[in-house]
């Protein structure tokens, strides 16, 4: 795992780099915002907020605007508002100096696990001739693009999460429409009918009478 450490204080950067390397990380260290923004993309960024040429908040904002690279802010600014601003600008975590080295390593690994988990969730799903990409919200059936409304996509994505499993009508309504849905369920039937028509194979979404629906996984 390659880390980009953005820290202008050698008294912190040098021992931190050596410690992280002992933990098996590859570390690229830069001392200013210009070099941080010009550096090749790393797997995770450790970002100090006080830099000689540009505020670390702006570095965070620019990095997040062009990439989803995980960012952990490491700074002496410990006020609640500083934390809020950093997190709202896109930082994944915020660690106040002085901090324990073991805590930093644990947070690096935790952030990486969360990001990896989200990446796994967004991987394309294939069920027979159906391919659904949650990252791009694109659906293809037998290699042909299928245009869906936002709700139709959300409904199909929910069913595709566990193809073959039956979801009750209430579970679907709460997940796709509202967590406290108490209205008529007719809207679900309308969306299922539309999906069947657009997919061109009515048998892919099976009605389980008295229970709900499931997405069939062809043998």
Q: What are the structural domain ranges in the chain?
A: 2-121, 125-215
Quote the distance between the C-alpha of residue 48 and its chain's center: 23
Structure tokens at 162: 């566990």
pLDDT tens digits for range 15-39: 999 999 999 999 999 999 999 999 9
Per-residue pLDDT of the chain (219 residues; tens, 9 = 90+): 899 999 999 999 999 999 999 999 999 999 999 999 999 999 999 999 999 999 999 999 999 888 888 999 998 888 888 888 888 888 888 999 888 999 999 989 888 877 776 666 667 889 999 999 988 889 999 999 999 998 899 899 999 988 888 988 888 888 887 655 555 567 889 999 999 999 999 999 999 998 899 999 766
Over the range 151-176, which residues count as b (16 or more CB within 10 Å of their CB) and which as e? bbbbbbbbbbeebeeebebeebbebb
Which class in CATH covers the domain with range 125-215? mainly alpha
What's the pTM value of the predicted model, to 2 decimals? 0.57
pLDDT tens digits for range 64-77: 888 888 999 998 88
Q: Which CATH number, 3.30.70.360, 3.40.50.2300, 3.30.420.40, 2.40.110.10, labels domain 2-121? A: 3.40.50.2300
């Amino acid at each position: 795992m390659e880390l980009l450490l953005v820290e202008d204080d050698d008294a912190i950067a040098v021992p931190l780099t050596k410690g992280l390397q002992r933990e098996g990380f590859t570390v690229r260290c830069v001392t200013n915002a210009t070099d941080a923004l010009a550096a090749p993309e790393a797997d995770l960024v450790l970002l100090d907020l006080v830099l000689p040429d540009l505020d670390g908040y702006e570095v965070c904002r620019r990095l997040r605007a062009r990439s989803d690279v995980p960012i952990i802010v490491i700074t002496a600014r410990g006020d609640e508002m500083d934390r809020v601003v950093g997190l709202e600008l896109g930082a994944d975590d915020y660690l106040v100096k002085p901090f324990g080295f073991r805590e930093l390593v644990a947070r690096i690994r935790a952030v990486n696990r969360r990001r990896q988990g989200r990446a796994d969730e967004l991987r394309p799903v294939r069920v027979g001739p159906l391919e659904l990409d949650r990252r791009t919200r694109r659906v293809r059936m037998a290699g042909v693009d299928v245009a869906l409304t936002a709700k139709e996509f959300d409904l199909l994505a929910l069913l595709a999460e566990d193809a073959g499993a039956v979801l009750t009508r209430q579970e679907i309504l709460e997940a796709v429409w509202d967590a406290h849905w108490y209205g008529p369920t007719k809207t679900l039937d309308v969306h299922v009918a539309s999906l069947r028509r657009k997919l061109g194979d009515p048998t892919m979404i099976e009605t389980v009478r008295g229970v709900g629906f499931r997405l069939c996984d062809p043998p």
